[in-house]
Structure 1
Amino acid sequence: MNPSDAYLAHMDAIVREKVRSIESARAPEQEHYLGQAELWQRVADHVERYRDELSFIVRDLHANPELAFEETRSAEVLATTLERQGFVVKRGAHSLPTALRAEWQSVDFDPRRHRTIAVLAEYDALPGIGHACGHNIIAAAGVGGFLGAAGIGSGKIVFLGTPAEEGHTGKEYMIRAGMLDDIDAAVMVHPFNYDLSAHTWIGRRTLKVVFKGIAAHASMQPYMGRNALDAANLVYQGIGLLRQQMPPSDRIHAVIDEGGHRASIIPERAEMSIYVRSLYVDTLMDLSTRIDDILTGAALMAGVEVERSWDTHPMSLPVRNNTTLADRWAQTQAARGREVLPFGVLPDSQAASTDFGNVSQLVPGIHPTIKVAPPGVALHTKEFADYAATDAAVTAAIDAAVGLGQVIVDTLCDDHLMNKARSEFENAGGPIRATDLR
């Protein structure tokens, strides 16, 4: 066993022990409303009716991966699937050419009395390794959840095809174009190596930095120059030292994109790309201020100018998990035979970012994970991409579609559930818009 295998085995043992201690301390709350069992069965029957279509989405998108903002073919696959079932699909929804929107509403729908629930789908892939984040599974689950819940209960269900999650913030662009204006709650699911009712997804900001110095002959007159690369190196070292004071859940990544072209010339220009991630909105902004201070200090020490460009694409906010709705998701998956681990089992340090965070800061939302690969197989690897095209991936998409559909129906039909979810959301601070943060 190599050291990394030993670590993974150790972590899995810790996870299992945490699960046992949590379950022994608190049995999950089981809430039901009149007719829930019958409605859940109807959702499951609806999804099963579309098994072939959902399987096709999983495998076809995997075989034809498309990058962020370029998902023309993938979006068309989802749109035509919904249109074959009689739904009107708006292409280019909410300002993005590859975004989609479709709706179902009951004949008695009244926005003053009924709720509108959104189910989201992603379908962009990663460069070089395709669907190593399993967005093909997310797409199938979102379509299936919409089809599974449509026609049940009183209210409105909105399907949203959301492009450009990988390295970008497609959902935030759509939010600014009105995507959530009429939405009361939002649901989606993400493939993973554990079944989790909720997980930590940290916020992310991007930063481009340019240092401008003065070129000089590196041997004859080095004292006449101002070395821009020195400033970039000082920033890199400063970030390394800052990590000692960072919480385990926070992350900073940096690369030097440009640092000169010939060793015999003092570099007059250096460029850096930096990612800043944090667990909460306020700590994300505070960490950004610390990085700004490092940039200023490095420029002063090297005697150069610094230009910074935050958020070329909008920032991704941390996901605010709505535990009320997440607990209901866990019940749906338990009914599918899955062992859903409660929130807090995996450490905060095992966290990535998603633009669903921007959605969850505006309306109650869930972003659970569904197991597709073994615990040791990480997202954004070739190994995970391989698992994303297996029979297990199709099964996960079906189970997730059923779960999303059942949670949607519950949010439409269960007043107690939605009142509790709303109260939790408001107690956590209410809506936070990325556009209000600087």
Structure 2
Amino acid sequence: MPTATSRVEDAVNRRRGDLVELSHAIHAEPELAFAEHRSCAKTQSLVAEHGFEITTAPGGLDTAFRADFGSGPLVVGVCAEYDALPGIGHACGHNIIAASAVGTALALAEVADELGLTVVLLGTPAEEAGGGKVLLLNAGTFDDIAATVMLHPGPLDIAAARSLALSQVAVEYLGKEAHAAVAPFNGVNAADAITVAQVAIGLLRQQMAPGHMAHGIVTDGGQATNVIPARAEMHYTMRANDAASLRDLERRMTDCFLAGAVASGCDYQVSETEPAYHELTPDRWLAETFRAEMVRVGRSPVSAELEAALPLGSTDMGNVTQVMPGIHPIVGIDAGGASVHQPAFARAAAGPSADAAVVEGAIMLARTVVALAQEPAERDRVLELQARRAS
């Protein structure tokens, strides 16, 4: 009789055409955070046809869903992302994430009863902006889940991918209008406040700790050159190796924002634009099991030493891995040297290597979950951690 690992691999291969078609369909109609209505519907359609119980809009998020199959005590989540980027579409390859997650869930459903599994496919919107997984965590959507897996495309194969903690803010300055030529001395220039703040941030960079990053844009700098602007706004993203270090960077950046207000005479307000993202902390056993799967299918994951030195951007999956065992490996695609968030990567995300990543990624994730279910010590470990969370 075929083993559970071989059966999930066969299940993915049988559905190769459907999975690739799903990836291409999502890629062809990119949708932004919290507006992924077509992508959300496409992602859940295949599992709905195969007996998954669909819960729409968990946590009150219209473009989220939860699809359950089985009744086993080991509840494993598989995250699907499907939001795109403004202007450059699926340059982060979330179409690949969604299709591989569907393939993983469908394959695991075929062995759920014999392995004592409940398979949960989670449609998680707004990873690029908005923190969909954080909102779902806070709403209790993950409460009964013992471990969560997903993958992400990139230029390299990385089994134990790590990420940076992140927070994003809007900084608004309020001054006073005046005619820029007739009576500029009657104005309080909000755009000047932004200039001072950005100069302060630029000078701060020399003293930033390793791993600290700050990058921002001006979203409002005035409406006419001959009017002293009474309002100006900028958005800034701050990143650090972990949440504790991020708090230190936020404190120093807040002083730079204040400097702009003091120097210009403006009032100001700093507001968080979305939930903070924590650092990605992959579960060691799951990551090493996935690494072995990468090697088995002929991939060459980077070394553990390089992984530790290569944190990759930021993701709300980091928040999930702070709560439960989870992994977010990177599966490499050929983008001609381009990396994520570049137009060339968007084009590659519907190419032959992306299609291979969908299929191989689903196989590797499914086989990793099967290994977890069949290894008594690891199964007991994640179940015990979930029981502690629930108590």
Checking the alignment, whether the CA contact within 8 Å between 1:194 and 1:375 is kept in structure 2 is: no
Aligned residue type for 2:364: G
Q: 1:127: how far off?
A: 2.1
Aligned mates of 1:197, 1:98 — CA distance in 2: 29
Q: 1:416: how far off?
A: 2.2
1:128 paired residue number:
87
1:115 paired residue number:
74
1:206 paired residue number:
168
Q: Does 1:345 align with 2:306?
A: yes
Q: Does 1:354 align with 2:315?
A: yes
Aligned-residue CA RMSD (Å): 2.3
User: Which of the numbers 29, 38, 49 marks the counterpart of 1:64?
Assistant: 29
Aligned mates of 1:85, 1:397 — CA distance in 2: 19
Tell me, what secondary structure is at the counterpart of 1:196?
Answer: coil
What is the total number of aligned residue pairs between the two structures?
385
* 1:199-348 correspondence runs (5 A): 199-310=161-272, 312-345=273-306, 348=309
* Cα deviation 1:135-174 (Å, max 9, x = unaligned): 1110111011111122321132211111111222111111
Aligned mates of 1:375, 1:418 — CA distance in 2: 40
1:149 paired residue number:
108
Tell me, what secondary structure is at the counterpart of 2:304?
Answer: coil
The share of aligned pairs that are identical, in percent, is 36
Structure 2 unmatched ranges of 5 or more: none
Q: Does 1:188 align with 2:188?
A: no
Checking the alignment, whether the CA contact within 8 Å between 1:95 and 1:173 is kept in structure 2 is: no
User: Which of the numbers 333, 339, 347 marks the counterpart of 1:386?
Assistant: 347
* Cα deviation 1:18-41 (Å, max 9, x = unaligned): xxxxxxxxxxxxxxxxx9x93221
Checking the alignment, whether the CA contact within 8 Å between 2:214 and 2:239 is kept in structure 1 is: yes
* Cα deviation 1:369-394 (Å, max 9, x = unaligned): 00112572110111111111112111
1:411 paired residue number:
372
Q: Given the superposition, is the C-alpha separation of residues 119 and 224 from structure 1 closer, same or farther in structure 2, using an over 3 Å criterion?
A: same
User: Which of the numbers 308, 316, 328 marks the counterpart of 1:367?
Assistant: 328
Aligned mates of 1:341, 1:131 — CA distance in 2: 25
Q: Given the superposition, is the C-alpha separation of residues 422 and 319 from structure 1 closer, same or farther in structure 2, using an over 3 Å criterion?
A: farther
Aligned residue type for 1:257: T
Aligned mates of 2:101, 2:116 — CA distance in 1: 20
Checking the alignment, whether the CA contact within 8 Å between 1:249 and 1:351 is kept in structure 2 is: no
Checking the alignment, whether the CA contact within 8 Å between 1:213 and 1:304 is kept in structure 2 is: yes
Moved more, 251-260 or 344-353: 344-353
Moved more, 358-367 or 290-299: 290-299
2:15 paired residue number:
50
Checking the alignment, whether the CA contact within 8 Å between 1:198 and 1:342 is kept in structure 2 is: no
User: Which of the numbers 28, 41, 56 marks the counterpart of 2:6?
Assistant: 41
Please give the TM-score of this superposition, normalised by the length of structure 2.
0.92
Tell me, what secondary structure is at the counterpart of 1:345?
Answer: helix
Q: Does 1:174 align with 2:136?
A: yes
Please give the TM-score of this superposition, normalised by the length of structure 1.
0.82
Tell me, what secondary structure is at the counterpart of 1:174?
Answer: helix
Checking the alignment, whether the CA contact within 8 Å between 2:92 and 2:153 is kept in structure 1 is: yes
Q: 1:216: how far off?
A: 3.1
Checking the alignment, whether the CA contact within 8 Å between 2:104 and 2:365 is kept in structure 1 is: yes
Q: 1:58: how far off?
A: 1.4
Tell me, what secondary structure is at the counterpart of 2:3?
Answer: helix
